[in-house]
Amino acid sequence: MTLNIDQLKKKIIYRSNYRGTKEMDKLLGAFTKKYIDVLTVNDLKDLEKLLKNDDDNLYKFFNGMETSCKFSNNKINNMFQNFNFNHK
């Protein structure tokens, strides 16, 4: 089975913008919008894995708090934690 990059990007964009909480919709939507077109295939796969986590753990991870799940030390997770989110 071949990986369709455009389908993967659409899935990631959708999953980033429709999380369940408005705060995470905005945060992950902005993060994805900024980086989606410059990520490698492996980065996209890591972003897809990141998005499988629930909003509470993602919020805690983003803010450097203790989470109930383990996050890998990879480029995407580091970019997410260091993302400068200017919400308005």
pTM assigned to the model: 0.91
Half-sphere CA count of 58, side-chain side, radius 13 A? 23
Kindly list the structural domains of the chain, giving each domain's residue range(s) and its CATH number in brackets, ordered by start: 5-81 (1.10.150.250)
CA distance 82 to 84: 6
Q: Going residue by residue through the chain (88 aa), what tens digit of pLDDT does each one get? A: 567 999 999 999 999 999 989 999 999 999 999 999 999 999 999 999 999 999 999 999 999 999 999 999 999 999 999 999 876 5
Rounded CA gap, 58 and 4, in Å?
26
Pair of tokens at residue 49? 């894995």
How confident is the model at residue 87, as a pLDDT?
64
